Amino acid sequence: MHLDRSGGRGHRPLAVIAIADHQAPASFVTLVGQLGYVLVDLGLQRGGQHPAGALPDDVVDQRAGLGGSVGIHYAEHGRAFLTRVRSSGLLGDQKSITREGTPVRVQPEADPQILSIAQLAGLTGWTCFDARQYNQARAYFTEALQLAEESDDRQFMANVLACMSLQATYEDKPADSLAFVTAAQDQARSALGTTPRVLSMLSMREAFAHGALGNRDSTHRAIGEAHRHFEQIGVSDPDPSWVNYFDEPKLIVDTGIAHGRLGEAATAEPLIADALRREDRTNQRGRAFHAFWLARTQLDQGKLDQACDTATQALVPASAVASERVSGHLREFYDQLAPHRQKPVALAFEARLRELLPPVSGSLHP
Q: Looking at the predicted structure, is the pLDDT value of residue 72 above 70?
A: no
Query: Would you say residue 258 lies in a domain?
Result: no
Q: Say if residue 141 is in the same domain as residue 204.
A: no
By residue count, the chain amounts to: 366
Q: Say if residue 62 is in the same domain as residue 184.
A: no
| Spatial distance between the Cα atoms of 117 and 160, rounded to a whole number of angstroms | 13
Kindly give the pairing relationship between strand 98-99 and strand 102-103. Answer: antiparallel
| Spatial distance between the Cα atoms of 59 and 74, rounded to a whole number of angstroms | 6
Query: Considering 218, 246, 274, which residue would you say is the last residue of a domain?
Result: 246
| Spatial distance between the Cα atoms of 33 and 63, rounded to a whole number of angstroms | 16
The model's pLDDT over 34-44, given as tens digits with 9 standing for 90+, comes to 455 445 444 44
Query: Considering 122, 152, 182, which residue would you say is the last residue of a domain?
Result: 152
Query: Would you say residue 2 lies in a domain?
Result: no
Q: Find the mean pLDDT for residues 292-312.
A: 97
Q: Find the mean pLDDT for residues 225-252.
A: 96
Q: Looking at the predicted structure, is the pLDDT value of residue 141 above 90?
A: yes
Write down the pLDDT at residue 35. 54
Q: Looking at the predicted structure, is the pLDDT value of residue 119 above 80?
A: yes
Query: Would you say residue 130 lies in a domain?
Result: yes
Write down the pLDDT at residue 12. 34
Q: Find the mean pLDDT for residues 70-95.
A: 41
> Where is pLDDT greater, at 60 or 148?
148
| Spatial distance between the Cα atoms of 47 and 356, rounded to a whole number of angstroms | 12
Average pLDDT, the chain: 76
Query: Would you say residue 271 lies in a domain?
Result: no
Write down the pLDDT at residue 357. 84
The confidence band for 311, taking pLDDT boundaries of 50, 70 and 90, is very high
Q: Say if residue 13 is in the same domain as residue 135.
A: yes
Query: Considering 195, 227, 246, which residue would you say is the last residue of a domain?
Result: 246
> Lowest-confidence range among 7-16, 214-223, 275-284, 294-303?
7-16
Write down the pLDDT at residue 111. 62
Q: Say if residue 13 is in the same domain as residue 143.
A: yes
Write down the pLDDT at residue 331. 87
Write down the pLDDT at residue 275. 95
Q: Say if residue 78 is in the same domain as residue 64.
A: yes
Q: Say if residue 328 is in the same domain as residue 364.
A: yes
Q: Report the number of distinct structural domains present in the chain.
A: 3
Q: Say if residue 145 is in the same domain as residue 170.
A: no
The model's pLDDT over 314-363, given as tens digits with 9 standing for 90+, comes to 999 999 987 899 999 998 999 999 999 999 999 999 999 999 986 544 44
For residues 158 and 185, the answer to whether their CB atoms sit within 8 Å is yes
Q: Say if residue 33 is in the same domain as residue 112.
A: yes
Instruction: Give the residue numbers spanning the domain of 232.
Output: 154-246
Q: Say if residue 354 is in the same domain as residue 294.
A: yes
Write down the pLDDT at residue 114. 82
| Spatial distance between the Cα atoms of 133 and 116, rounded to a whole number of angstroms | 23
Is 342 exposed, middle or buried (CB count within 10 Å of its CB: 0-12, 13-18, 19+)?
exposed
Write down the pLDDT at residue 326. 92
Write down the pLDDT at residue 364. 44
Query: Would you say residue 277 lies in a domain?
Result: no
The torsion region of residue 102 among left (phi > 0), alpha (psi -120 to 50) and beta comes to: beta
pLDDT > 90 in the chain, percent: 57
Q: Find the mean pLDDT for residues 194-205.
A: 98
Q: Say if residue 298 is in the same domain as residue 319.
A: yes
Query: Would you say residue 265 lies in a domain?
Result: no
Q: Find the mean pLDDT for residues 285-310.
A: 96
Query: Would you say residue 269 lies in a domain?
Result: no
Q: Find the mean pLDDT for residues 287-314.
A: 97
Q: Find the mean pLDDT for residues 280-306.
A: 95
Q: Find the mean pLDDT for residues 199-210.
A: 98
> Quick one: angle between helices 248-261 and 284-300, nearest 10?
30
Write down the pLDDT at residue 117. 87
| Spatial distance between the Cα atoms of 23 and 45, rounded to a whole number of angstroms | 31
Query: Would you say residue 233 lies in a domain?
Result: yes
Q: Find the mean pLDDT for residues 235-249.
A: 94
Q: Say if residue 141 is in the same domain as residue 176.
A: no
Q: Say if residue 169 is in the same domain as residue 98.
A: no
Q: 115: Cβ–Cβ under 8 A, 6 or more apart, which residues?
A: 147, 148, 151, 153, 156
